[in-house]
Chain A
């Protein structure tokens, strides 16, 4: 396998090296350079859109900031390109930080609007700040020179291609590392990421900064390629074009951005040239014909899925014949191509190819490292935080949690003894989950305080609390759906990494050591919860019961002192419940304190040391399971009506 990869890479290098000589036409070389530049930007856009799952409409603006940073440094200060371009990375990354500030608390369309506003403001400022940017007149700069040697297009090509390859390598390293997993976790479930000690704020800012830095790099290279920049280039249309390119090419891949960039750069030329367009139409017609043939041969009797492709290809052929001129209808055809991608290639072109290849790819070509030595011994590590010996491990005092007029928790006290399993029960709506959220910092209590392991944690962020040794699972599963089981657990192990961005980019021994250790431990944890067979399966594809176990495994990755399980047995079959009880027992045996919310009374009563009962936001009973079970108040709460006598 490795030999194939190396040969493949070598072939690509050779191809890229001889390309300018081979095509020997400045026009095409310029196109290739532009594709490489856009691809670098799209790598960055992919971090935000593909990994953290947010729509950014600011990237044309960031691209413009990068282009202008390099342009101004060269034009006003005479910096050569090899200083100006790297500077534009840092300038733009700083603007990315600025963008992340208002973007922190918002998501979805609101975040899209924040980024749009940012991009628009950037465009206006570039246009208006004549003293710095020369306003709408634009900046003309001279061809880049290297120690007195003027770089022509074919020389500059090598600069861009080398930067492009390095950027691709570094982005690939970042996204395959714990940092990339942190970004992806934000998309899967921000709440769960926070509760695994991966601070949503921090990594969102980080993602935006790296993404902006890449946009700046692309912008800087763009300036020295075009040699003339003007503000109107970096407008909303370009932003949309970038987004389309990425999604058409394929998110969460390195090849997708390259392909997407090639499409948006080359397509206008294809659509301007009626001859070329006709050939394209024929190719598509052949493709559809093959699709129809395959469909018929495979013996399917439903012809509905054939209608749209056949009609579409026929319409394309018809228009290729009918139209004498492309100009007028070019944009319509582009629009239909987008719709085609949305309908048939939802994961983008590269995503689609991957799926097709995946069908035929042997099972043994996995994503993970070989993990042979993983045994149960790797599951348990020394506690990260020394557990204080005196007092309760967790103490909630007089917690009041108010939503508007509703008191979801009313003056509740809770003390959890070190090393115990503490059951928390109550009817639906009694405030159990609210309690859980208060303890883990998702809600800040209206009144009262929570003390964990000797320090007050109420008011801290969920990720800070998690890093002090408190892990949890979720009643409504909050797995990172598009990540594999192993990667889910690795997010839990995020705190074990001391490596920083530089370590990851340089692939230092420290990072490699940490990555290997984390993978080993993640594999052991999966084995412990009985999921070793599903290691490389995406979490969303696991059966329900396994998903619950995976949540526990992920929480164990945090190496917690206290584990909060929110209805772990819900939806499990009885053999699965038996396994679950065994797992919880083992967790406790290894010195981890457990809080267990559960509706299955036999589970709670069977393994809990102490049980607290909540009803209407108040604690109505507490004690040994047997005592609680016979408490009339509890019976009343569960059965309703009068206390039975």
Chain B
């Protein structure tokens, strides 16, 4: 029976020896939390974001790290569930003792979990979630300092752009809103309605659909009967594809204009030809029109080999990548890993950070935690399986700064 003992003892010994050795050799790494949904429905965004962050981290570490220390990512799957997000936040803060967190795809998870970072005075950079409320949860006078930052285009910016596109540029008078029944879709719907109201327009139909719905006949018929000339969407890839396909089935084709998720591979692939012409605000389009973007795209494709040479969610990847660089810059400037110091540095970044999305020159201030302003995103359009610039002048003049 003696064979049973080494079988389990060896790995235990091994693991503890390795841990000891590592601890003795290098300076303690800087722990950064990386949380997002890596399983389930919104994981394509979560995984692209994770890969973007990993890419940036590897580059930073190869270049010697920050403050002479390596950055260590502590990755946790929040499963897009609010209560898991809360547990993850607490674990990262209290057990892993991270100095900052990047991530959050789902607005609901962010809203549920952020208060722990705020209380622990640990900065968070939201790199995908877009709910307008996210950066406004902890404002003065209730809270002295806000620890929540963002590198994505919030719903206010996006809905404004969508409405501009539909009403001002393309002169539609009657539009229908189709939004999913989640937090994401409904917050977006509210912002869309507000943006429309500012133009004095009331949507002719406001419809909901559930995640995994396979039949959109009822929603589309209602929009059609109301005489909609365009459909404004707030949802995620697969269901958006069902909308595009449903329109084809009903033999009714009006333009789709919606949030950035219309650029996701799972919309474009699943809707096939029906996705052509869909337009959406984009902070990043997979086109190497600046040296930084070319380097990023090449590095991403080399590291992760996505199918058809296309990043599943380019926006998530780019924003994730940039969020890590911003954080690293802040830690460097702060000269410490102390939460308030990092926050103060983020709010007053002295050196510009050359990012994929834009060149971040003083992206944040004490009272403004949005790195992306209304002039940065551009309109993208789906064309034959790829997202391209909807307007030629944007492609030629790709770089907007705050």
Contacts and interface: CB of A to CB of B under 8 A. Distances in A.
B183 A230 contact: yes
B93 interface: yes
B8 A227 contact: no
B15 A278 contact: yes
Contact of B11 (A34, A282, A293, A331): A282
Nearest to A127: B181
Interface string A274-295: 0100110010011001001100
Interface stretch (B73-81, B199-207, B274-282, B378-386): B73-81
B91 interface: yes
Contacts of B77: 272, 327, 330
Given A232-B81, A289-B7, 18 more contacts: A26-B90, A26-B93, A28-B94, A30-B86, A30-B87, A30-B90, A127-B181, A136-B181, A137-B186, A138-B112, A228-B86, A229-B82, A233-B82, A275-B15, A279-B12, A289-B4, A292-B4, A328-B39
B94 A272 contact: no
A230 B112 contact: yes
A293 B1 CA distance: 7
Interface residues of A, number: 43
B181 A327 contact: no
The range of chain B's interface size is 35 or more
A39 to B, nearest CB: 16
A321 interface: yes
A298 interface: no
A138 B108 contact: yes
B7 A136 contact: no
A496 interface: no
A500 interface: no
Contacts of A503: none
A134 to B, nearest CB: 10
14 contacts: A26-B94, A137-B183, A137-B186, A138-B108, A138-B112, A138-B183, A140-B111, A140-B137, A232-B82, A232-B182, A233-B82, A233-B83, A327-B77, A328-B39
A228 B11 contact: no
A391 interface: no
B186 A136 contact: yes
Contact of A321 (B11, B91, B95, B112): B11
B82 A27 contact: no
A322 B94 CA distance: 29
B387 interface: no
Contacts of B93: 26-27
B8 A285 contact: yes
B112 A135 contact: no
A128 B207 CA distance: 12
B73 to A, nearest CB: 11
Contacts of B91: 27, 269
Interface in B112-162: 112, 115-116, 137
B296 interface: no
Given A137-B186, A275-B15, A321-B11, A227 B76 contact: no
B262 to A, nearest CB: 20
Interface centre among B4, B75, B93 (most CB of A within 10 A): B4
A92 B7 CA distance: 52
A275 B182 CA distance: 35
B84 interface: yes
Nearest to B9: A282
B371 interface: no
B108 A286 contact: no
| Interface SS of chain A | helix
B183 A327 contact: no
B115 A227 contact: yes
A64 to B, nearest CB: 12
A541 interface: no
Contact of B8 (A226, A230, A286): A286
A228 B94 contact: no
Nearest to A289: B4
Interface in A11-65: 25-28, 30-31, 34
B82 A268 contact: no
A164 B143 CA distance: 33
Contacts of B94: 25-28
Contacts of A325: 75
B187 interface: yes
A550 to B, nearest CB: 47
B38 interface: yes
Given A232-B182, A285-B8, A293-B4, A226 B112 contact: yes
A296 interface: yes
Nearest to B91: A27
A140 B93 CA distance: 21
Interface string A350-378: 00000000000000000000000000000
A233 B7 contact: no
A230 B95 contact: no
Contacts of B12: 279, 282
Contacts of B76: 272
B194 to A, nearest CB: 14
B86 A226 contact: yes
A78 to B, nearest CB: 17
B184 to A, nearest CB: 8
Contacts of A229: 82
Interface in B57-102: 75-77, 79, 81-84, 86-87, 90-91, 93-95
Given A135-B186, A137-B183, A31 B8 contact: no
A327 B87 contact: no
A77 B116 CA distance: 26
Interface string B1-39: 100100110011001000000000000000000000011
A226 B83 contact: yes
Interface string A219-237: 0000000111110110000
B1 A296 contact: yes
Interface string B174-206: 000000011101110000000000000000000
B182 A138 contact: no
Given A25-B95, A232-B108, A31 B183 contact: no
A228 B111 contact: yes
A300 B1 CA distance: 15
A268 B84 contact: yes
B94 to A, nearest CB: 3
Contact of B87 (A227, A269, A331): A269
The 5 residue pairs across chains A and B that have the minimum distance between CB atoms = A27-B94, A289-B4, A27-B90, A228-B112, A282-B8
Nearest to B137: A140
Contacts of B8: 282, 285-286, 289, 317
A136 B182 contact: yes
Contacts of A31: 87, 90
A293 B5 CA distance: 12
B163 to A, nearest CB: 21
B122 to A, nearest CB: 13
B338 to A, nearest CB: 19
A298 B181 CA distance: 60
Contacts of B185: 136
Contacts of A26: 90, 93-94, 116
A268 B87 contact: yes
A27 B11 contact: no
B206 to A, nearest CB: 12
Interface string A609-632: 000000000000000000000000
Contacts of A292: 1, 4
B127 to A, nearest CB: 18
B1 A136 contact: no
A315 to B, nearest CB: 14
Interface in A121-160: 127-128, 135-138, 140
A136 B137 CA distance: 17
A28 B186 CA distance: 34
Contacts of B84: 268
B81 A137 contact: no
Contacts of B86: 30, 226, 228
A370 B123 CA distance: 64
A171 to B, nearest CB: 24
